[in-house]
Structure formats: C-alpha cells, structure tokens
C-alpha cells in the first residue's frame, strides 16, 4: 500500500522540517523527488540522505514567490518527468497582531505563503491536466481557530485553505485532486530557533509550555505529518478531494 513507484513529486521547502520528512518518506515509497527551496544546504542534505538510501532526489534553488523562477524550474522538471504530485510546503511564519504587523511583513507573508502556492500550482496544473495528479497544500490550524499574535500568518493560511477548495472544484474533471493539511505545533528546527531567539535562558520551560498546548501533551513529529501527506498523495486516497485534514493532537476539537 501507499506506493509512489514511477510517480514524480515536486515538493517545496524540502530542505528542513516537515518538507524534509515528506521528501524522505516519498522517496522511500519510490517516488522521484524534486525539491524547490532557497535553503541550498538543507536541500542538499535531504538529497544526500535520499540518495544514500537508494532513492531519487534532486533540488533546485527557487524562490516560490517569483513567478519567472518557478516557471523555469517546473519546465525543467516537466521536460524530463511529468509531475504527478505537488506538495506546497514552503512558507514563512510571523509573530504579531494587526497593530504591530507592518506592511512589509504583511506583504512578505502574502508573497511567500499565498503567491508561492499560486505560482507553483499554476505552473504544474497544465502538465497534470493530461493524466491527472495530486496537489497537497500545507495550511495550518491558524486557518481554523483564532491564535493570539498570528494575524498575518493566519491570513495566509486561510487563503491556502480557500485556494485548496477552489482548485479541487475547478479541476476535478481532469482527475486532479487537491487537499490540505492543517498541523498544530510540529517540533522542527524552526520551533527550536524561535524559542532560543525569543526566550533565552527559558528554552526548556517554554518547550514544555508549547508542547502542553496540544491536548495530547506534545508537539507533532514531522514524520507524522509526512505519513498523512503520503496517504493523501497515494492512490489509496483517490476518492478524497477538496478536504482539509487537521493533524493537531486534539487542539481544534478538544481544547485544553
């Protein structure tokens, strides 16, 4: 089950965290993995890990918020292998409410998190229209519930959830499925960096506090999000489209 043999998967933000875990698992399931990311070091490490395990992976340095760069990268991949799977994982975070979020930060969040999904998806869909495909977007519980000091980030993830529904509806006749995943807190290097930057000397205490905000009492592992991504991108999920899947340790429905 859940084989991706002979499938070509394009994954944005595959150099770290959730994206890295998705790349590794998809390659393990025999997909050809192509990474689009600005993190050259992290992407190279992901590719090396996959290749050492006997899988296929390549990466391209690509700013997803720049349409011309995205078009060039996708055309180069599609010239060799038609994309079957697209995972829009790349994104940036931001702390702040509407009053202390300045216009430049707002625009940066929108550019990467919203326009990035738009650019990459728009570039891939023409190739998928001939034989079908799967698009998976990384949304967030921030699109589902009110989170303090996440104004701009929540805005972008709400847009991602809405785009998911629209794409699913518009392309269902082409056998293109589109779903999204909404994680709660996931223990990634970003979380560790955020805690170290904002709470120096209180790292252990804050890690425990953030972990306890999920009813199950811990953060998710990137590999757990990757497992859900694998299912939704596999043929076993061929009857699923236009849905969002919280992976949140009970955060949305069972608040502490």
Angle between helices 17-28 and 222-233 (to 10 degrees): 50
Residues 6+ positions from 92 with CB-CB distance below 8 Å: 108, 109, 112, 113
Is 73 strand, coil or helix?
A: helix
CB 183 within 8 A of CB 228: no
Angle between helices 17-28 and 40-52 (to 10 degrees): 20
Concerning whether 153 is annotated as a catalytic residue, the answer is yes
- E strands in the chain: 8-12, 32-37, 56-61, 85-88, 133-138, 176-183, 244-247
Residue in 153, 174, 231, 245 annotated catalytic: 153
What is the DSSP code (8-state) at residue 219?
P
CB 178 within 8 A of CB 166: no
Q: What is the distance between the terminal CA atoms of the chain, rounded to a whole angstrom?
A: 36
CA 78 to chain centre: 21
Greatest distance between any 2 Cα atoms in the chain: 55
How open is the CA angle 129-18-9, to the nearest 5 degrees? Answer: 25
How far is residue 194's CA from residue 197's CA, in Å, rounded to a whole number?
5
How far is residue 50's CA from residue 40's CA, in Å, rounded to a whole number?
15
Which residues are catalytic, by number? 153
């Amino acid at each position: 089950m859940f084989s991706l043999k002979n499938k070509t998967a394009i994954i944005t933000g595959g150099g770290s965290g959730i994206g890295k875990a998705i790349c590794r698992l998809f390659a393990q399931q025999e997909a050809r993995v192509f990474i689009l990311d600005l993190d050259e070091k992290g992407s190279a490490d992901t590719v090396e890990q996959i290749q050492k395990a006997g899988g296929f992976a390549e990466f391209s340095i690509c700013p997803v918020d720049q349409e011309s760069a995205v078009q060039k990268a996708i055309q180069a991949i599609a010239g060799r292998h038609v994309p079957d799977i697209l995972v829009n994982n790349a994104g940036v975070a931001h702390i702040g409410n509407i009053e202390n979020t300045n216009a430049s930060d707002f625009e940066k969040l929108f550019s990467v998190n919203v326009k990035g999904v738009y650019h990459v998806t728009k570039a891939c869909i023409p190739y998928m229209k001939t034989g079908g495909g799967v698009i998976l977007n990384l949304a967030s519980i921030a699109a589902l519930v009110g989170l303090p000091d996440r104004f701009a980030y929540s805005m972008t993830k709400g847009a991602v959830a809405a785009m998911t529904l629209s794409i699913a509806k518009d392309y269902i006749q082409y056998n293109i499925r589109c779903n999204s995943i909404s994680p709660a807190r996931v223990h990634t290097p970003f979380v560790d960096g955020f805690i170290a930057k904002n709470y120096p000397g209180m790292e252990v205490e804050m890690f425990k506090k953030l972990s306890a905000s999920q009813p199950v009492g811990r953060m998710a592992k990137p590999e757990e999000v990757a497992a859900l991504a694998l299912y939704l991108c596999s043929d076993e999920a061929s009857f699923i489209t236009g849905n969002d899947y919280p992976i949140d340790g009970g955060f949305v429905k069972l608040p502490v």
